[in-house]
Amino acid sequence: MLRSVLGLIALFSLGACGDAPFDLDAGASPALGAAYVRQRGCAACHQSGDTSFGELSGQEVPFAGTLVYGSNLTPDVLTGLGNWSDVQIIRAMIAGVDDQLAQLCPPSPHLGDLSELEARSIVDYLRTLPPVYRADVPASLCPPLKPFLPDLSVAGSDDGGTP
């Protein structure tokens, strides 16, 4: 446990590259990641009831009584994790923060018991998923963590439609 915590601290402080004190990639594999994803039940929150949308591509229906949507975990660049670094994905799983370090909405879990092997394997697995573009999965709102903020820059920059 201590070793795992120290490893993650090293991972966060060093970033995706750099000389880690031990080999974080040792033994990690997409196949292992697939097994961990099943074990953790990620699909319950990140997969549509309609499987034709694609594996772990997000939920277009919010959690009951909320405006929170299980996000698209496929490598799609616009609506998924295509632009997230490994460390950003691992941080989201463990600390419950997004790529801007903003808090994620509940019920997004904080997986404090994630080992390096598990974290690395899950990332490896997510990278193997076919990218799915899901414009129909809205951004989550959960005030006061994530309040709705009107985009004033758009409203104030109306130049009459010149592209």
Of 7 and 80, CB closest to ligand HEC: 80
Q: Among residues 21 and 107, whose Cβ is nearest to ligand HEC?
A: 107
Question: How far is the C-alpha of 36 from the C-alpha of 153, rounded, in Å?
Answer: 42
d(CA 10, CA 24) in angstroms, rounded, equals 10
Find the shortest distance in angstroms from Cβ 99 to ligand HEC: 8
Instruction: Considering only the stretches 10-18, 47-55, 90-98, 128-136, report the one whose residues sit in contact with ligand HEC under the rule CB under 6 A.
Output: 90-98
Question: In this structure, what token pair is assigned to residue 24?
Answer: 């974080």
CB 72 within 8 A of CB 79: yes
- What residue type is 161 in one-letter code? G
Task: Looking at the chain, list the stretches that DSSP marks H as alpha helix, in order from N- to C-terminal side.
Answer: 2-14, 30-40, 43-46, 86-95, 116-128, 152-155
* Tokens 């414009």 sit on residue: 135
Of the pair 11, 42, the CB lying nearest ligand HEC is at: 42
Rule CB under 6 A: is residue 89 a binding residue for ligand HEC? yes
DSSP character at residue 67 = B
Question: How many residues bind ligand HEC, per CB under 6 A?
Answer: 23
- Shortest Å distance, C-beta 117 to ligand HEC: 13
**Which of the stretches 13-21, 92-100, 130-138, 155-163 binds ligand HEC when contact is defined by CB under 6 A?**
92-100
In the complex, which residues of this chain contact ligand HEC (CB under 6 A)?
Answer: 37, 40-42, 44-46, 68, 70-71, 73, 89, 92-93, 98, 104-105, 107-109, 122, 140, 146
